[in-house]
Amino acid sequence: MTKPSLDTTRAQFAAGHFIRVVNYHSTPRSDAAELERELEGFARDYAPVTLDDLDRLFETGTWHKDKPGLIPVFYEGYRNSATVAAPLCEKFGLTGWFPIATSFVDCDPEFQEAFARSHWISLVEEDKQGGRIAMSWDEVADLSTRHVVFPHTAHHEGFDTVLDEADIRREVVESKAALEAVTGQPAPAFVWLHGSSYGQSPLHDRAVKDAGYRYQFANTMIHRVN
């Protein structure tokens, strides 16, 4: 775990850097003890960030908690995000944020390894054992009752490979509709493969905005879509 010094954290907080985002991908059970130690440390030094907390920060420009916020982000929709990462977040009172590649979840378990290998989704040996690699839609729905789930495109695509209106509808719009049908709540955020920033392509920015997303997650910041 990368742990900034207390002085560094205070300086960042004073400068208005209110939220730390930490990205994870597969969280196999064999690494659960290490993840548990990390999340325990984060829970000690940071405050959890719910969607309401993030909305309030962007609406008011003021962080209302006495510690900086922590958003642990678990990418792709691995089944172990639901079975390993989410319970550990809950153990320490953290809200997990889960960007889901919706076609990965939708894929027949028999073909999920092939899907992962052809769509930039990294696997460890444990991922390939025991059936599903991706979480089920029931697990997605259950996760959404306690955490934040949102699309990571449909097929784990970057904006540089989503080139026309049909591609945009599939990756930006239909992924949102698929999640919302399962969770019964609006999908608040979106993230491209490679964590591309809002503002790089007017065509793709407009698609994200028109689809009704409030936020776009990127490698360097969380963008408020407007």
Question: What residues contact 148, with CB distance under 8 A and at least 6 apart?
Answer: 50, 51, 95, 96, 97, 98, 188, 189
The CATH number given to whatever domain includes residue 55 is 3.20.20.370
Tens digit of each residue's pLDDT (9 = 90 or more) over 76-116: 999 999 999 999 999 999 999 999 999 999 999 999 999 99
Provide the number of structural domains found in the chain. 1
Is there a domain that residue 1 lies in? no
Q: Could you tell me the pLDDT band of residue 8, with boundaries at 50, 70 and 90?
A: low
For range 182-210, the mean pLDDT = 97
pTM, rounded to two decimals: 0.93
| Residue predicted with more confidence, 6 or 117 | 117
Q: How far is CA 35 from CA 21, 68, 85, 95, 140, in A?
A: 15, 20, 8, 15, 21
Could you tell me whether strands 97-100 and 148-151 are parallel, antiparallel, or unpaired per DSSP bridges? parallel
For range 218-226, the mean pLDDT = 92
For range 138-159, the mean pLDDT = 98
Is there a domain that residue 2 lies in? no
Per-residue pLDDT at 1: 38
Is there a domain that residue 192 lies in? yes
Residue 226 has pLDDT above 90, yes or no: no
DSSP assignment letter at 197: P
Mean pLDDT of the chain: 94
Domain that holds residue 209: 8-224
Above pLDDT 70, what percent of the chain? 92
Q: How far is CA 155 from CA 114, 121, 205, in A?
A: 13, 10, 18
Is there a domain that residue 212 lies in? yes
Tens digit of each residue's pLDDT (9 = 90 or more) over 149-183: 999 999 999 999 999 999 999 999 999 999 999 99
Is there a domain that residue 3 lies in? no
